[in-house]
Amino acid sequence: MSDTHAETVAYVRETMLPQQAPPSGQTGAVKWLRENLFAGWLNTALTVLGALIILWLGTHFLPWFLHGVWNANSLAECREIITSTWGQDATGACWAVIRERWTQFLFGFYPDYLYWRPLLALVLLFAALAPVLFPGAPRALLALTVIYPGLGYLLLWGGSVWFPVAAYLGFVLGYVVFTALTKAGQNLLAPILAVLATILYWLFLAGPVETALESVIPFGMEEVRSNLFGGFVLSITIGVAAIALSLPMGILLALGRRSDMLLVKALSVGFIEFIRGVPLITLLFTASLLLNYFLPPGTNFDIILRVVIMVTLFAAAYIAEVIRGGLAALPRGQYEAADALGLDYWKAMRLIILPQALKISIPGIVSTFIGLFKDTTLVIFVGLLDPLKGITDAVRAAIEWKGIYWEPFIFVGAIFFIFNFAMSRYSMLLERRLRREHR
């Protein structure tokens, strides 16, 4: 019996086998290729088709890039160099136009002896954004963040140093009104009257205050007119200003659209739907041609400021809808938890609701910002020289570069890609940092 039982029991090894390397198809590059490029017949067919397209593009356009000329004084000279170097039928890029006119693409017609001012403004912009975007940045830079709008204006446009100071006094007045009304228990009227007091100060008192300060201590920088702005100085100025202003405005519009107060909700819905239903070009024409008709006689509103206002309103309407989606995605229990803690409306929004809603809305908000920055090229329709069309046409109008086409567009497109790609990667970094389940 025992012999029969022993013959039926499976063999059991008493010692461990030495560790072996995994099969070549289950590790390294082979595994990655199989899972990502050749996982099934459809994936394999698409991979082969994509490789053929890349090969065709490479054979047709790579020589054009490789035969590029950087040192020439005209398009004709570029073509002569390409022909003498690569043959009669060779083609190549004339990058010499970028080397000769790169300052015009970046600064437009800004005075060349003042280039240090927009460059300094750009460096200070990154320093001012650092404590807002990166938690590890020195907190002392927050002081620069607060004063940067006035400092950036002074560097770019120049003029009296008391103009931004007088503008900042409006924020101080609004803060004083808000604090006083909040302490008096008027939580609902406090933000409305604070904003109203600030606007009235800017309309009627900011000018006299600036004049009085200038008469006591005259101090300023050389003025640069807005019609000299162009290129990426113009695009970055409009884009950064509109992004910084449209986000808080979009948050308020989103909250207004979800408000229980009928008038606030109706005004918010009407504004959002009207702005989203009108093309941006129409709003820019309104800023250029019609806005002055609604202002007091003799008012001269700077064209760039008018464009910034309209672009901000346009972006705020779209951001409001993105944030409204984030607010709607939150479970009802979050609102009930805020009520259970005894928080008022603004504290509940600031401490519980908005942080979660904004985290959900990050991809949509950044997409809106990227679209906004690209839409700054539409200012060509109101006479401002954007880098894509305005400056490119100005460069191509010169007799020595007449006939050049692709090189300026590729250069401008590459810079736009760098800025937009940086915004996209930062949004992904922010999403990973705020993802609680990975902490």
- Tens digit of each residue's pLDDT (9 = 90 or more) over 117-131: 999 999 999 999 999
Q: Are 69 and 93 in contact (CB under 8 A)?
A: yes
Q: Kindly state the tokens that stand for 356.
A: 């979660």
Nearest-5° Cα angle at 123, 122 to 128: 95
For 198, other C-beta atoms within 10 Å of its C-beta total: 21
Q: What is the pLDDT of residue 6?
A: 52
pLDDT of residue 436: 57
Distance CA 429, CA 439 (A): 14
Predicted pLDDT at 148:
93
Euclidean distance between the first and final Cα of the chain, in Å? 61
What pTM did the predictor assign? 0.85
Give pLDDT, residue 206: 87
DSSP H or E run through 159: strand 159-160
Which residues face 385 on adjacent strands? 230
DSSP 94: B
Query: Coil, strand, or helix at residue 225?
Result: coil
Domains parsed from the chain with CATH numbers: 23-64 (no CATH), 98-110+226-438 (1.10.3720.10), 159-221 (no CATH)
**Hey, what are 190's tokens?**
């406090």
In the prediction, which pLDDT does 438 show? 44
Question: Could you tell me if 141 and 267 are in contact, meaning their C-beta atoms sit under 8 angstroms apart?
Answer: no
Query: What's the confidence (pLDDT) of residue 416?
Result: 95
3-state secondary structure 269-327: HHHHHHHHCCCHHHHHHHHHHHHHHHCCCCCCCCHHHHHHHHHHHHHHHHHHHHHHHHH
- The rounded distance, in Å, linking the Cα atoms of 408 and 75 is 13
What three-state secondary structure class fits 385? strand
Q: Which two tokens stand for residue 260?
A: 């229980």
- Positions in the chain short of pLDDT 70: 1-11, 24-27, 291-299, 436-439
